[in-house]
Amino acid sequence: MSAKCKICNHDRRQEIEQALFRGDSHRAISQQFSVSRYVVDRHLQHVADAVKRARELVEIDHGKTVLMQLRELVSQAQYLGLRAERAGDNRTALAALRDVTRILELEARLTGELNEKPETKILNLNFDPDTARRISETFLARHKEPTPNE
């Protein structure tokens, strides 16, 4: 089991991290706070990993927020469509239905449920020379230019 980070447990941790964020040299930090340069280097990586994880969590939260907003828009469009349908306003009800469809399509794109990337499928076939000759003759016979007499 690895040892605990000396800076994480240091009484002046916030000051050390502020010095790191200011860009103070690791040597100056190690001298000022009586820790080795190795410990400062290791803690900087430790902090960088924590910042990276925090950014990822923010992105996840942002993604959840966008999806929640889209779902709220779907609910609102469904509600308006239902009101329009009850009022006999078929044109508005149909517009609401189109909006719900667009929002759901956008959500599917954002979540990866709808993949619109074109796919190319390649099929490699190997024929013996006789079969290849017959296929090419058939193809040419079907696609030959008609002569004026025909």
CA distances from 76 to 20, 41, 87, 144 (A): 49, 53, 17, 61
* Separation CA 136–CA 54 (nearest Å): 62
pTM of the model: 0.41
Residues with Cβ < 8 Å from 108, sequence gap 6 or more? Answer: 114
| pLDDT tens digits for range 15-73 | 888 888 788 888 998 899 988 888 888 888 888 777 777 777 777 777 777 788 888 88
